């Protein structure tokens, strides 16, 4: 009888990618993969530590797995492990602790534990790691879109962020390895590829000499151009970008790639220059706006999404209003709103004038109301337009069957159809709202 393994990924898309890679390793080792809610012989939880809530969720899931099967091997992996190694070594619910840059050893560690039942610990000093850990995804849980991890680590040290301390410095994946993985996934039918990483704007900067960087080499743009040459790719999409990577040359290069999607998650965090300075962000609101305008010069009606933190230490009402006005001026299609969460070990946690929770809550609600209005305005632009939809799944709403997918600008679109159109690109005319999030379309025959 085959041994079984279950996986849970918490947090970001990088974690999701790494979890898919570990799942593939266990499959190759002869394991049957089961749902995390089922009984399994091995549970692998890829943890997150971006907030205190993420820490708590990571602990809960580890204990939940041990409770589900007390005889199972429980492996805690990733960012929370990197931050809380000692606590996890003392936790009786956890059998194996594996930090970042060592996930490729997970199967070997589990095998060894099954043989000797001695607690396994593989957490390295992540700040000393200079090599990218090679992980490869053979297939993903999604049928149409594949996330491709291209780098790890971050050198920015924003004052609120713990991630550089648990992910280490920038380490880039070789272009050869990226291209090889994408070609293999194209052969399996995947049509859309999303570049992900901890700080993808830094991709390749650690692999180039200072002279090459001074001469204007742009590794990320060069990678996009190279991938655009692979036959069978319908779409190329980027994860979160830093504003300062957006230069005329960069935009000229990516806009020359016909598969590139005009959907930009351009990191903001605040629209107030004084708050941005306290956050240790490396741009001003004006610079951000200039980058947005540059992208609009090369792309028709691009989608801009971002993250904004409200209630950062010392944020005055005036500074919050500056953010609101700035956000209105940009016209985002979607914003993820976060209430500032004090993170032990970061500079911001020690800052004076921490904002009370009730004020954070009020500001969050005010911004969310604005975000909902902007999202509707952006979607309204597409009414009556013919869009290309890459169908991803079939759902049932109100007794009707719909095929759901996204257009290039990452709007969620639906067509009513009994035929399974999964992983096909269709053209459809936007005609109505199906839900607050989904636009209803009519197929163009």
What is the SS3 string spanning 15-58? HHHHHHHHHHHHHHCCCEEECCCCCCCEEEEEECCCCHHHHHHH
Can you give the pLDDT at residue 139? Answer: 75
Can you give the pLDDT at residue 130? Answer: 87
Long-range contacts of 178-182 (CB under 8 A, 24+ apart): 178/148, 178/150, 178/223, 178/227, 179/226, 179/227, 179/230, 181/136, 181/137, 181/148, 182/146, 182/148, 182/227, 182/230, 182/233
**Distances in whole angstroms, Cα of residue 364 to Cα of each of 196, 308, 369, 370:** 27, 9, 9, 10
Spatial contact of 127 and 164, defined as CB atoms under 8 Å apart: no
The number of CA neighbours under 13 Å toward the Cβ of 441 is 32
Spatial contact of 276 and 306, defined as CB atoms under 8 Å apart: no
Distance CA 266, CA 283 (A): 12
Per-10-residue mean pLDDT, the chain, length 445:
94 95 95 96 96 93 96 96 94 95 95 90 87 87 89 96 95 96 95 97 91 86 97 96 96 98 97 98 97 97 97 98 98 96 93 97 98 96 97 89 96 92 96 94 89
Question: In terms of Cα–Cα distance, which of 317, 335, 315 is closest to 327?
Answer: 335
Q: How far apart are the first and last CA of the chain?
A: 50
Can you give the pLDDT at residue 433? Answer: 94
Q: What would the two tokens of residue 137 be?
A: 């995804």
Spatial contact of 306 and 335, defined as CB atoms under 8 Å apart: yes
Can you give the pLDDT at residue 209? Answer: 82
Distance CA 30, CA 418 (A): 37
Can you give the pLDDT at residue 213? Answer: 78
Can you give the pLDDT at residue 264? Answer: 98
């Amino acid at each position: 009888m085959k041994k079984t393994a279950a996986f849970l990924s918490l947090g970001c898309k990088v974690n999701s990618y790494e979890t898919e890679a570990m799942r593939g390793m266990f499959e190759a080792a002869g394991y049957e993969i089961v749902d995390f809610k089922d009984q399994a012989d091995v549970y692998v939880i890829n943890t997150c530590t971006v907030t205190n809530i993420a820490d708590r969720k990571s602990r809960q899931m580890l204990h939940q797995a041990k409770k589900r099967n007390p005889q199972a091997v429980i492996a805690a992996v990733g960012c929370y492990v990197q931050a809380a190694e000692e606590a996890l070594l003392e936790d009786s619910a956890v059998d194996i602790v594996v930090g970042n840059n060592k996930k490729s050893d997970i199967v070997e560690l589990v095998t060894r534990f099954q043989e000797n039942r001695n607690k396994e610990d593989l957490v390295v000093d992540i700040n000393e790691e200079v090599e990218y850990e090679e992980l490869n995804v053979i297939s993903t849980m999604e049928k149409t879109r594949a996330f491709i991890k291209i780098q790890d680590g971050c050198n920015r040290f924003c004052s609120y962020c713990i991630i550089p301390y648990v992910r280490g410095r920038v380490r880039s994946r070789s272009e050869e390895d990226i291209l090889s993985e994408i070609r293999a996934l194209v052969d399996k039918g995947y049509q859309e590829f999303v570049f992900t990483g901890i700080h993808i704007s830094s991709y390749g900067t650690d692999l180039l000499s200072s002279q090459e960087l001074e001469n204007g080499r742009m590794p990320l743009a060069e990678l996009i151009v190279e991938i655009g040459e692979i036959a069978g790719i319908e779409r190329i999409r980027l994860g979160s970008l830093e504003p300062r990577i957006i230069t005329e040359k960069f935009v000229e290069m990516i806009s020359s790639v016909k598969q590139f999607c005009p959907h930009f998650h351009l990191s903001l965090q605040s629209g107030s220059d004084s708050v941005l300075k306290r956050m240790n962000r490396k741009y001003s609101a004006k610079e951000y706006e200039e980058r947005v305008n540059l992208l609009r010069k090369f792309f028709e009606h691009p989608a801009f999404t971002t993250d904004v933190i409200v209630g950062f230490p010392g944020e005055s009402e005036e500074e919050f209003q500056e953010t609101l006005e700035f956000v209105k001026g940009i016209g985002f299609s979607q914003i993820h709103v976060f209430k500032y969460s004090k993170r032990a070990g970061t500079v911001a946690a020690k800052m004076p004038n921490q904002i009370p929770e009730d004020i954070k809550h009020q500001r969050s609600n005010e911004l969310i109301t604005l975000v909902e209005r902007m999202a509707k305005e952006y979607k309204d632009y597409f009414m009556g337009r013919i869009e290309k939809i890459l169908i991803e799944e079939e759902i049932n709403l109100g007794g009707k069957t719909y095929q759901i997918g996204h257009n290039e600008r990452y709007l969620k679109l639906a067509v009513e159809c009994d035929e399974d159109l999964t992983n096909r690109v269709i053209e459809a005319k936007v005609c109505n709202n199906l839900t607050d999030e989904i636009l209803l379309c009519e197929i163009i025959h």
